[in-house]
Amino acid sequence: MQKPTRLTLRRQIRHFKNAFFQFGDMPFTNTLSADLISRISASGDSREDVFSPLVTLKAFLFQALSTSGSCKEAVAHILAERLFGGLKANSMSTGPYCKARNRLLLPQLKEAVISTGEKLHHHIPEGWS
């Protein structure tokens, strides 16, 4: 897979934020900066055509926020998104997703969790703390 250009990466990040944070009233809509998403997406290895680092991050966030927390649900979400976008269907096998998720680098993921927590903490309503 070709390494994305800056313009392509910016478009991918914008698409990522629009797809994941599509509801403007959610408390975490603006917590992940484009710079942080860019560093996370550059942190992985894009061996897979379907599970690029950015797609893997999106699936991982959906998995973490889902009620079941299953890899199968994360893969199904990516399948639905690909089909909706007119792309070729990915397999429902969870192996490629799990391997891609393991290739994401921990320091960037930890930074995302910490910075998100800090931003959310600063925006809590009075009386919640």
- pLDDT tens for each residue of 3-39: 556 667 777 776 666 665 554 444 455 667 777 777 7
Lowest mean pLDDT segment, chosen from 14-18, 23-27, 70-74, 84-88: 23-27
CA 12 distance to own-chain centroid: 11
d(CA 112, CA 102): 16
DSSP-assigned states of every residue in 29-61: TT-S-HHHHHHHHHHS---SSS--HHHHHHHHH
Distances (CA, A) of 39 to 11, 32, 33, 81: 15, 11, 10, 23
DSSP state of 24: T
Is residue 89 very low, low, confident or very high in pLDDT (cuts 50, 70, 90)? very high
Distances (CA, A) of 62 to 7, 30, 72, 74: 26, 16, 11, 6
Read off the pTM.
0.68
44-52 mean pLDDT = 70
DSSP state of 86: T
